[in-house]
Amino acid sequence: MTDRQIIKRLLALLIPFWRGILMAVVLSFLTIGSSMALMGTSAWLIAKAALHPSIAELNLAIVGVRFFGIARGLLRYIERLTSHQVTFRLLKNLRVWFYEQLEPLAPARLMVHRSGDLLARISHDIDTLQNFYLRVIAPPLVAIGITLTMLSFTGWLSPILALITLFFLILGGGVLPMIAWLSGRKTGQAVIQTRADLNIELLDGVQGMAELLVFGQAQSHFAKIQAINRDYLRHQHGLAQRSILQSASGNFWVWVSIGVLLWAAIPRIDGIMLAPLALVTMACYEAFLPLGTAFQNLGGSIEAGRRLMTLVEENSPSTPSQAVLIPPHYDLTFENVSFQYSPDDPPVLNHFNLTIPQGAHLTLAGPSGIGKSTLINLLVRFWDYQGGEIKFGGYSLRDYAPETLRDLIAVVPQNPHLFNATIRENLLLARPSATDEQLESAAKIAGLDALIATFPDGLDTWVGELGLRLSAGERQRVAIARAILKDAPILILDEATANLDRVSQQSVLKTLQTEMQGRTVIFITHESPKGDLPNSICVLR
């Protein structure tokens, strides 16, 4: 996506907040206008008072100084409150929007992305966009209003002064920020990308610490993190140097413009107005000096926006526009189904045919990579097949909303994910309203009851991060109990007993066959069919 497309997409997200943004712009304009009026009025008051006029001639200016002094502080407080409130509300909506766009892509389409990179996009990239909304959108609008105000003031004094003012404001408010943007564009993008790389390596290091220590690669990985961190600091240092240079050149430009204006104004205006002209000019640059830093960071904001937009634009399964469809029965039929993950990849399924009647217990056996797990991803609509047809209850799978299918299908993966919570909370994911009796019944079917009985806290035992306080076989039992508790008409077990010993495996499978009578059960395994599996077997080759 081009920079222009990214900016248009980011601006489109502002539409629901246009009233708040307009209010923040108006308040910022009034704040800087009050500052200009305060400086101009106080300068005129001092210059006029030096001539010892009647106090009556100074009363209005004295009141003006008091008024604009109070107004400036009050308006600045309200403006900051409004602008930050709008920005935080917008970032909140942006996070919700990003999650809503990301959810249909999970988990199948996110498998190609590393966890650290996803974490960086969700947290840091979205936070980076606050600079775009807070410092890039509103300040140019305020600067335009201040420019018109300043031109009106200097034009009232002298048309020549108005032209000189316009020249300096265009260069200070347009050309210099543009130079800052172009000079810091690649560095800002590099900061975003390097930060993401650093997050990736840090997360990989934490998750794989045991393996790094066992194989003696901890120092090597640490050196890699240090190298990326040095690059990150170098890019940040480059931005800081540009920011310092931008600030110095901006302040230098202020004093140059004031000097030129005074030089041109001395023969043209009343001497009392020289001080107000100088101080009003200095005050008006409050609207222009932040533009350099803001546009310098624009490259980073655009890169952050690109990383978000390119991720959510990945193809997700289509959603039917019609009303929610409920299947009249649960027969599954694969008719010449073909599927490949990308146009450049070989087909995983090629004219695949299979019929699974409601209530059947079926074993799908075959070597790894043959497409067994792909069938699950197609059934729950993590992916959409390209050829043929899958029918569920006599209707095309595409006629169902993904949520409807996932309510009717329970899946036990080979490597189940357990949340850092209790056994009870992990089980309740399947049915939040389940009673203790239902939890215990599901645990018994999965052979988890004996394990729970050994824990002092029973179902309230904490499983730890990723369930690592439990063994691999125990995690699989929790996942099986969770799937049973869901009470779905179709249960799929993808190598769900691979981490159990042979005796436990046979016990669990026999119990499942007995308890799941009348429901469709699909066992997926890469092993050769054994006697402990259902008699109905489909061998994939």
β-bridge partners, 196: none
Structural domains in the chain? 3-311 (1.20.1560.10), 332-539 (3.40.50.300)
Residue stretches of the chain with pLDDT short of 50? 321, 529, 531, 533, 535, 541
Q: How many whole angstroms separate alpha carbon 292 and alpha carbon 247?
A: 8
Q: Report the distance separating Cα 252 and Cα 295, nearest Å.
A: 19
Distance CA 47, CA 276 (A): 9
Longest CA pairwise span in the chain (Å) = 112
pLDDT at 108: 63
Q: Please give the distance of CA 353 from its chain centroid, rounded to a whole number.
A: 40
* Residue 359, SS3 per DSSP: coil
Query: Which three-class secondary structure string do you get for 411-473?
Result: EECCCCCCCCCEHHHHHCCCCCCCCHHHHHHHHHHCCCHHHHHCCCCHHHCECCHHHCCCCHH
DSSP states of 90-103 as a string?
A: HHHHHHHHHHHHHG
pLDDT of residue 317: 58
Tens of pLDDT, residue by residue over 155-176, are 998 899 999 988 888 887 777 7
3-state secondary structure 256-287: HHHHHHHHHHCCCCCHHHHHHHHHHHHHHHHH
Contacts of 171 (CB under 8 A, 6+ apart): 253
Angle, to 10 degrees, between the axis of helix 55-102 and the axis of helix 18-49?
A: 160
Question: Would you say the pTM of this structure is higher than 0.85?
Answer: no
What amino acid is encoded at 329 in this protein?
H
Instruction: Specify the pLDDT at position 77.
Output: 93
- Per-residue CA distances from 383 to 339, 378, 397, 493, 514 (Å): 9, 5, 11, 19, 32
What torsion do the CA atoms of 435, 439, 441, 443 make, to the nearest 10 degrees?
180
What is the pLDDT at residue 189? Answer: 76
The pLDDT value given to residue 529: 45
pLDDT at 318: 60
Q: Which residues pair with 355 in a beta bridge?
A: 333
Q: Compute the radius of gyration of the chain from its Cα atoms.
A: 34
Closest by Cα among 50, 471, 422, 98 to 272 = 50
Adjacent-strand bridge partners of 361: 521
The pLDDT of residue 531 is 46
Q: What is the model's pLDDT at position 465?
A: 78
